[in-house]
Each structure stands twice: as C-alpha cells, then as structure tokens.
Structure 1
Amino acid sequence: MSALVVLFCLIALVMINVPIGVAIGAVAIVGMVATSGIDAIYNAALAMFEGGSKFTLLSIPLFVFAGALMNTGGISLRLINFVNAIVGFVRGGLSMVNVGVSMIFAEISGSAVADVAALGSILIPAMKKRGYSGSFSAAVTSSSASLAVIIPPSLPMIIYGAMADVSISQLFVAGIVSGLLGAAGMFGVCYYYAVKYNLPREESFSLRKLWVAFKDAFWALTLPFAILGGILSGFMTATEAAGIAVLLALVISIFIYREMDLKLFYKAMMEGVTGTSVVMLLVATSAVLGLFLTEQEVPQQMAAGILSISENKYVVLMMLNVMLLIVGVFLHGAAAIILTVPIVLPLIHELGIDPIHFGIMLALNISIGQQTPPVASVLITACSIAKRDIWQVTKVNALFIGVLFVVLLLATYVPALSVGFVDFIYK
C-alpha cells in the first residue's frame, strides 16, 4: 500500500510540473522515512551517490557534448547538404533528407531532443519555405529524431544498461536493425505524403554535386563511422567511443571546418552541461526509488501478479508493452526507464527473457512515447520550432507513429532481429 501511495504522489507531482528528478527523489525519500524511519536518509544519500557514479554513465555527458559541438561547429549543416545531394531529387526529397540526417545525427548525439532541436531549427524553416506544411514538417522532424533512441549511441540504452547491468555495446548493436527498419518505414511514409500532396523535388541528381557535397562532409561522416565501427569491432567500449566522439568533433570543428570559436565552444559546453545535469539527477534519484521499491518487494509482487494471469512469455511481453506504452505517454524517456526497470527486471529474468531483447522493446516504447501527447517532449520541441498546434501535428504524425509501432511488434515477437544480430557479432 505504501508503494502505491508513493507512486500516486509521484504521478501527481509530475502532472503539476514539478521537475521529474526532484519529484522522484522527494517521494522516494519520504516513502523510505515513513516506512523505515529517519535513519533511512543515510541510505538514500548512499544510493544517490552509487547510482550516479557508475563508470558507464560517463558516456552520457560525452555524447551530449559531442552533439552540441556538431551543431555549433558546422558539422550538422554539411551532413544536411550531403544527404540532400543523395535523395533531394526524389519527390518530397527534403522530408527524406530530414530522416536521413536524423539517422546520422543520432549516431553521434544519442538524444532525440538534441536531434530535433539542432536539425529542426534548420530543416523545418527550409521545408516550409519549399511549400511543405508546417504540420508535416514538424511531424517528420519529430518522428525521425526519435530514431536516436533506437540507433546507437542511444542515451536511454545507456541508462537501461547501467540499471540492468547488461552490456551497453551489445544494446547498441541490437538496436541497429530496428533503427534501420524504422528509417525505411519513415522514408516510405514521406514518399506517400509526397505523392499525395505533390510535394516538390529539390535539385536534379548530379554526380558532380554529390562528389562536392561528399568532400565537404567527409570529415563530418567520420564521426558516426568511428563511433559505430569502434563499438562493433570491439576496439572501444561505449564510454571510450563517447570520448573519441568529443575529440573528433572538436578537431573537425576547430581545425578543419574552422567554424568553432571560444563563444561557440562556451555555448556548446553549456548545452552539454545543462542536458547532462537533467539526466544525471534523474539517474541518481532513481537509485533511491529503486531501493525503496525493492525494500517494499514491489517487483516481486508485480511479477507474481502478472504470472498469475499468464506464464506464456509472449502474452507477458504483450502486457509489458501495454504498460510501457501507457507509462511513456505520461513520463519522459529517462523517467519511464527509471520507474519501470527496477519493477519488471525480476520478471524478465524469471521468464528467461533476454535483457538485451527487453532493452530494445523498452527503447521503442520510449520512442513512441516521445511522439504521443500530453508529455511528448520531442514532439513539443518540433511544434515550438514550426509554430504549430501539437494536436494538428499529431494527426499528420499518426503514420510515422504507426511505423514505430510496427517495428515494436517485430522487435517483440521476432527477437532474432535484435538478439540475433548481437549473437552474429559477438559469438
């Protein structure tokens, strides 16, 4: 009963716009004191320190900083020009450029919000100027940005890997196929809208223009190849790859493109610090909430309740997806992971479900939650850039959300798409 009261209070605090990290820490500490006495505060402090000081979490600020350096150092614009030279000649090509660049940016920043903020400020005005509706421009930018949750190096996967004590590198590898399927589906939706509304083509295809754009973007393209190649080859861990990403972004921005000065560097550094502090506060306070839930035996009780309904693994996976979809609608991605993982992880182990497989399911559910109001952090960011009402954009966004949902079903019931690729790479 005490655990239910704490969870209800948490939801109430979030609904009245109390910062999620503060809300999680407050209800967890109050719950521990109420059930275990005032001495529990010492345990809460230790849990926060241990939860936020895991070495693997060091990759979060590094990837966030690398994404900020990309945006301020001229790297993002060159990637846009390169992808435009490849697919711009197709009808509705600028929307496909949006999806393609989001894939590349996702392989560096790992953050959907950073993706939509960085690319949306460039691509949404450009799409509107070329005759695309504001709602469609916001929808494709928002949905394609959520590929950052699936494609490595996903920040939610890093948080999940640290909490579930599973290999972050293997989680990254497992997300590649699902990310590519999601991107392919979004390309298809873009083409459908392009034909339906007679959207414009960009410049005609030219090998010379492609070569010029490739030369200009060559050093920018080394970033995703270095990160992904280093992880897939086993040469680098996720944390080491994050450090290399920052180093390369700095070298490329300062010495090759020469667009980074002290003012822009300070701006990128502040973006990285701000983005990291929000996530790390969530991670630290989540450790306290996890400790409280464990002391109250909530995971064990939930596992018993679900197993009393069905012990069939695929039925349980369906129930978990429904739960995660509901949680994702009302909570930000990191908070959804923090709230659900300590509760469902014992059930996952008891049923013999591969935690890597569940991690991909979790990431896909979060990507859908980022597109579904009322919280929809990524969608709201895109709408604010496009200056469009969130519900109008959601109507257009329905097909893109449908793509993510289909990929979720495939990842859930065809685990070979994710775990099979991990086995192929590592075994």
Structure 2
Amino acid sequence: MAHAEMTEIAPGEVTARSPRRRSALASVEHFLGMLVEIPAAFLVVAEIVILFAGVVSRYVLHSPLIWSDELASILFLWLAMLGSAVAFRRVEHMRMTAIVASARPAMRAYVDMVATCAALAFLLMIVWPSYDYAYEESFITTPALQIANSWRAAALPVGICLMGLFAFLRLLRAGDVRTVLSAILSVAAVIAVFWLLKGTLKPLGNINLIIFFVGVAGFCVFAGVPIAFGFGLATYGYLALTTRTPLMVLIGRMDEGMSHLILLSVPLFVFLGLLIEMTGMARAMVGFLASLLGHVRGGLHYVLVGAMYLVSGISGSKAADMAAVAPVLFPEMKARGAKAGDLVALLAATGAQTETIPPSLVLITIGSVTGVSIAALFTGGLLPGVVLAITLSALVWWRYRGEDLQHVTRASGREIGRAFVIALPAIALPFVIRYAVVEGIATATEVSTIGIVYAFIVGFLVYGLLIYRKFDWRRIVPMLIETACLSGAILLIIGCATGMAWGLTQSGFSRALASAMTGLPGGSATFIAVSIVAFVVLGSVLEGIPAIVLFGPLLFPIARAVGVHEVHYAMIIILAMGIGLFAPPFGVGYYAACAIGKVDPAEGIRPIWGYLLALMVGLIIVAIFPWISIGFL
C-alpha cells in the first residue's frame, strides 16, 4: 500500500540496562515469532493450492469443488490475523512517521513507546468482545464443510492476543524504563479522561463524529500510531462512550472487512510480485525496454516509466513494482549522469501513474467495498495509466532534451531481438492474467494463482535454468512470510476502517455528506473537482486503501446520483490518491521510493514537483474525457 507498502523506525530501540534480560526476551520473542511466521507462510501456500485446484477442477475437469471457496475464506481470516501479528512483531504496520521522524531522539523514543502503548490499549479493549464474537459464531454452521463457524472466527481473538503479547514484549525489551512508564501513564491518562467525560459526550450528537473520527483518529495518525490501531481506537471510543451499540459489533465489522474473499487476491498478488523479482522476469522486461530506448535522450527514464507500467500489470503492489525496477535501472542511469534525486522523484511519480493498472490492490479494494465490477475496473484502468505515462514522458523529454549521449552505444537489431526473446515469457504474463479473467477461466481472486503458477514454472525453467541460471529456493519461505506480513498490515487497516465506515454510516453522516455533495453547484463537474482535491489530501494522510474503505461506500452512490460513471469515478479518485500518496512531505509512498532507491528524501523534494504537476495534468485529462476510462467496457 498499501502497503503500503513501507518500512519504519522500530519503537523503543534504545540501549537496554540489562543485556542478559534483553537477550532472554529477544529469544522468547524470536521463538514466538517463528511459531506465528511458519503457519502464516503455510497459509499462503494453502490458499494458492486451494484456489488453483478450484480453477483446474472447474475449468479443466468440469467438476467444481463446492467447498474450495469456503475453506479458502476460513483460512483467509487466519492468514490476515497471523499476518497482522507478524507485521506487529516486525514493526511493519503502516504509520505516518513524517512528523515523528523530525523530533529529537529522546522525544522520538517516547512517541514510539506511546504508539506501542496505544496499540496495546486497543488490543486489550477488544480482546473480550472478540472472544464473545467467536463464541456467538459457534452457533452457525458453514454450508459446505458443515463445521462451526467459530473455527474461522477464532482467528480474531488469537491474532489480537498474539499482537498484544508482542506489544508487551516490546515494552519489556525497551531499555529506558522511565520512557516506558511515561508512555503508559500518558495513554492511560487520555483513556481515563475520555471515560470520565462519557456523560458529557453523549448529548453532543454528531459533534462526537468530529471529536473521535477527526480528532482522535487524526491525532493518532499524526502521532505515529499505526493507522489500523488509530482507526480502531477512534471507532471503539465513539461506540463505547457515545452509543449503546454492543462492542461485539465492531469485531463483526472488522471481520466483514478483512474476510471478503475478493481481498484474498491481495496476498497472492503480493507474492506474485516478489516471485517475478526473484526469478529475474522483471529484469528481463527492463533489459528489453532498455535495448529499445537506451540510446535516446532521456531513454532510460522512458524505460523506467514503461517498466513500471508493465510490472504493475503483474504484481499489483507498488512496493514490489519499485523494488523490481529500481535496482536494475538506477546504476546505469546514474552512470549516464542522472541525479539521484531526479531518479527517485520519477520512481515515485511512476508509482502514482500506475495505480490504476490491473491488478492494482486499490482496484480490488474498490470492487470489494463498493460492488463495482472488478473486471470492469481492470479494463478501465489500462488507458488512464497510458495518459499519465504520456504526460510524464513529455516532462522527461523537456528535462533531458540536452542530454549528452556520446558515450552511449545504440543496441543493434540483433541485440534487440535477443533481448526480446529473453523477455517474451515475462512480457506474456500480464496477457495471460488478463486472458484468464476475460475468458472466464478464473475469477479476479483466482487469477493470481494462475499468475503464480506461470511465474514459478517459467521463472524456474526459463530464467532459472537457461538464462540467468539462478533460482534461489532459500528465498521462498522468507517471501511467503513477507507476503503474510504485508497482507496482514493491509487487511487489518481494511478491517478497522470498515468498522469506522460503519460507525460513520450509522451516525447519519453518510446521508449528510450525500446531501451536501449532491447539492454542490455545477453538478458532476464540481463533484469531480471536489473529489480530486479531497482524495489528494486523503491519499497523502491515510494512503489509498484506508481512504477507499472509509469513503468509497459513501461517495460512489453520490457519483451515480450526479451522473458520473462508477468506473470513471474510480479512476479519478485512484489517480488523485496516488498523487497524494507519493507527494512529500506526508506521502508515505515517496519515502518508500526513497528507501528502495537508497536516496536521501531531501534530494528528491525539488524535482518531484514537476512530475506531480505532469501527473495532475494527466488526471485532469482523464477527468474531462470519460471515454479514456469507460471506452472499452
């Protein structure tokens, strides 16, 4: 995204007073981590096998497995919760660190401890409602497997307890006891104040929406509390202190948000992205593009734009896209005199440009929360990416029109042909995926398994044995664990954001928002303009997936009411969020690009504004001409 897709500073990493104590706690945490990571990796493999078996059974053997989707759904919730626990242990839950990172070391350590304590407080508050929810689900029997639904729902209290345990161990491992105690007391004091004000808050009505969903959630996000837990605290506080809603309902909404079967494509496409990078398929595609354009002024910059477009059609994960392309292109681009800041700025811009290209995780999320056809979104997302690629390329041409190419040798026709032959199996993958969806061979969820099997076979036989002769089997398990980790971080945000969206809807906020937005002068044009501004801001602060889950169900019905096609509107807000996500100083995608490119963020601040302007021009073109999004539906 989702995730993120980024790294961050580990809370509380200060010198311990007792090395022996810290070593013992580290051993305990490592052991518990292995107990969680190995089953999480196994669940990723199990989901791939189950879904691919379902495709083969239905399409090849013409004998559908009636239990495959149900079993996949049961295991998916376990994968989401165990993955969330892995992400918590590795400190990889998405959070906004722009403000925290600028603080002094002592203050940063304190704020990081506060973030851990806030997350632990939320986990402690929902552990009992999650147990109640799992118990209530025991009275429901699954239709195909005929087992109690508590086997699935039990993942919630188990995952919550594991995350709470890792949070507790993190506090114990922190060396500065005074900092830990200060953080605990600070969080406890804030919770106590809100609890004491319970009687005052109830009569305030919808003002509580501002207090909790703007004040509490905003404060948590800017204070560096992981986004999922910030959303969860705001929703829990609103329900517990201002309504009579049973808190078990919050757990139910989290379950509903995380376990939607369409979202199962999130971990599978993340793993596919890691697989194409490891096998060398991405390297082959980039090599072919470089042979075509390497001799042109700014040629490798065009290659970067094109490579991100191609790779995005495979992985669905922005972090995987950038990690696959940057290490291959950056060394040669720097050798030609390109500045590191400009490279990372263009890398971030192409990350925003390719947000609509299937199988984007944001597209899948929109389909899951709004009911818009995933196949239509996949079709509609191709051309908007081309339009933004053209506007970016126009700026590249202007900036590099005077580049010195005396030392660059143009590739011969034979070299281009050889690069094409090498890259052909990799280039075919996006077309294989799209063909499988369009022809009805597999659903949007299942198609990722076809991509994985294809990439595994081609990556091993073609690139591993014949071309690069490198297929590192030792990386498979770490890749599976990384997949579970990133997926858990994304899915927990979706779960908590679903709870928040439900709270907003029940309060009547959605009706008020719909009334205000439909009443804007200027009709659909004004609605689109306001949406662009709003989602650029939301993309910068919340990232794409949380913003979509929160506001998608509210705004898509309004778009229909004012006459905007759903797919067209989806492309507009995705691109707007992408611009916000990769725009400094708050856009976390920009910092992820800097981390992948190993470039100081300060170096890319100035050059990225030109690229963002080019993206905005492309977005306006897409907004003005709906045909770009819906012409091929």
The TM-score, its normalising length taken from structure 1, stands at 0.93
Correspondence for 1:103: 309
Correspondence for 1:164: 370
Residue 313 of structure 1, aligned match among 519, 524, 536: 524
Specify whether residues 145 and 316 from structure 1 end up closer, same or farther in structure 2 by C-alpha distance, changes over 3 A only. closer
Correspondence for 1:280: 491
Check the 8 A contact 2:253/2:499 in 1, yes or no. yes
Residue 410 of structure 2, aligned match among 197, 204, 213: 204
How far does residue 223 in structure 1 lie from its aligned partner after superposition? 1.0
Correspondence for 1:115: 321
Matched, 1:56 2:265: no
Matched, 1:28 2:235: yes
Residue 252 of structure 1, aligned match among 445, 448, 458: 458
Correspondence for 1:221: 427
Amino acid at match of 1:372: A
How far does residue 200 in structure 1 lie from its aligned partner after superposition? 6.9
Check the 8 A contact 2:239/2:247 in 1, yes or no. yes
SS in 1 for 2:584: coil
Correspondence for 1:353: 564
Check the 8 A contact 1:82/1:217 in 2, yes or no. yes
Check the 8 A contact 2:340/2:603 in 1, yes or no. no
Specify whether residues 166 and 67 from structure 1 end up closer, same or farther in structure 2 by C-alpha distance, changes over 3 A only. same
Check the 8 A contact 2:295/2:405 in 1, yes or no. no
SS in 1 for 2:275: helix
Correspondence for 1:328: 539
Residue 332 of structure 2, aligned match among 117, 123, 126: 126
Choose between structure 1 and 2 for higher RCO, CA contacts under 8 A separated by at least 6 residues: 1
Runs of 5+ consecutive residues of structure 1 not aligned to the other structure: 423-427
Matched, 1:83 2:289: yes
SS in 2 for 1:238: coil
Specify whether residues 208 and 126 from structure 1 end up closer, same or farther in structure 2 by C-alpha distance, changes over 3 A only. same
How far does residue 195 in structure 1 lie from its aligned partner after superposition? 1.2
Correspondence for 2:554: 343
After the TM superposition, which residues 186-205 of structure 1 pair with which residues of structure 2 at under 5 Å, given as runs? 186-198=392-404, 202-205=408-411
Check the 8 A contact 1:110/1:154 in 2, yes or no. yes
Distance 2:504 2:428 in 1: 44
Residue 152 of structure 1, aligned match among 337, 351, 358: 358
Residue 511 of structure 2, aligned match among 293, 296, 300: 300
Amino acid at match of 2:317: S
Amino acid at match of 1:273: A
Specify whether residues 199 and 135 from structure 1 end up closer, same or farther in structure 2 by C-alpha distance, changes over 3 A only. farther
Amino acid at match of 2:607: V
How far does residue 80 in structure 1 lie from its aligned partner after superposition? 1.3
Amino acid at match of 1:29: Y
Specify whether residues 203 and 370 from structure 1 end up closer, same or farther in structure 2 by C-alpha distance, changes over 3 A only. farther
Check the 8 A contact 1:329/1:372 in 2, yes or no. yes
Correspondence for 1:395: 606
Distance 2:617 2:477 in 1: 41
Distance 2:476 2:282 in 1: 15
How far does residue 201 in structure 1 lie from its aligned partner after superposition? 7.2
**Pairs aligned (count):** 421
How far does residue 273 in structure 1 lie from its aligned partner after superposition? 1.6
Residue 19 of structure 1, aligned match among 214, 223, 226: 226
Specify whether residues 396 and 232 from structure 1 end up closer, same or farther in structure 2 by C-alpha distance, changes over 3 A only. farther
How far does residue 380 in structure 1 lie from its aligned partner after superposition? 1.0
SS in 2 for 1:274: helix
Matched, 1:363 2:574: yes
Specify whether residues 199 and 282 from structure 1 end up closer, same or farther in structure 2 by C-alpha distance, changes over 3 A only. farther
Runs of 5+ consecutive residues of structure 2 not aligned to the other structure: 1-206, 465-469
Specify whether residues 218 and 307 from structure 1 end up closer, same or farther in structure 2 by C-alpha distance, changes over 3 A only. closer
Correspondence for 1:412: 623
SS in 2 for 1:257: helix
Check the 8 A contact 1:106/1:147 in 2, yes or no. no
Correspondence for 1:47: 253
How far does residue 235 in structure 1 lie from its aligned partner after superposition? 4.1
Distance 1:200 1:59 in 2: 47
Specify whether residues 241 and 203 from structure 1 end up closer, same or farther in structure 2 by C-alpha distance, changes over 3 A only. farther
Distance 1:261 1:194 in 2: 38
Check the 8 A contact 1:88/1:201 in 2, yes or no. no
Distance 2:604 2:434 in 1: 33
Correspondence for 2:594: 383
SS in 2 for 1:310: coil
Distance 2:602 2:246 in 1: 45
SS in 2 for 1:239: coil
Deviates more, 1:194-203 or 1:4-13: 194-203
Specify whether residues 191 and 382 from structure 1 end up closer, same or farther in structure 2 by C-alpha distance, changes over 3 A only. same
SS in 2 for 1:131: coil
SS in 1 for 2:632: helix
How far does residue 233 in structure 1 lie from its aligned partner after superposition? 4.2
Identity of aligned residues (%): 27
Check the 8 A contact 1:150/1:363 in 2, yes or no. yes
- Which structure shows the bigger proportion of residues in helix conformation? 1
After the TM superposition, which residues 253-268 of structure 1 pair with which residues of structure 2 at under 5 Å, given as runs? 253-258=459-464, 259-268=470-479
Check the 8 A contact 2:286/2:303 in 1, yes or no. yes
Check the 8 A contact 1:93/1:201 in 2, yes or no. no
Specify whether residues 199 and 162 from structure 1 end up closer, same or farther in structure 2 by C-alpha distance, changes over 3 A only. farther
Check the 8 A contact 1:109/1:153 in 2, yes or no. yes
Distance 1:202 1:47 in 2: 58
Check the 8 A contact 1:231/1:238 in 2, yes or no. yes
Specify whether residues 363 and 199 from structure 1 end up closer, same or farther in structure 2 by C-alpha distance, changes over 3 A only. farther
Correspondence for 1:230: 436
Specify whether residues 90 and 360 from structure 1 end up closer, same or farther in structure 2 by C-alpha distance, changes over 3 A only. same
How far does residue 359 in structure 1 lie from its aligned partner after superposition? 0.8
Distance 2:534 2:563 in 1: 19
How far does residue 381 in structure 1 lie from its aligned partner after superposition? 2.1
After superposition, what is the alpha-carbon deviation per residue over 1:113-155, rounded to whole angstroms, capped at 9, x for unaligned?
2212332233223322331111111112221133331111111
Check the 8 A contact 1:56/1:239 in 2, yes or no. yes
Specify whether residues 12 and 386 from structure 1 end up closer, same or farther in structure 2 by C-alpha distance, changes over 3 A only. same
Correspondence for 2:208: 2
Correspondence for 1:425: none
Check the 8 A contact 2:533/2:576 in 1, yes or no. no
The TM-score, its normalising length taken from structure 2, stands at 0.64
SS in 2 for 1:353: coil
Specify whether residues 197 and 255 from structure 1 end up closer, same or farther in structure 2 by C-alpha distance, changes over 3 A only. closer
Amino acid at match of 2:581: Q
After superposition, what is the alpha-carbon deviation per residue over 1:221-258, rounded to whole angstroms, capped at 9, x for unaligned?
12111112333444433222211111111112223222
Distance 1:117 1:376 in 2: 18
Distance 1:200 1:76 in 2: 28
Residue 272 of structure 2, aligned match among 46, 66, 77: 66
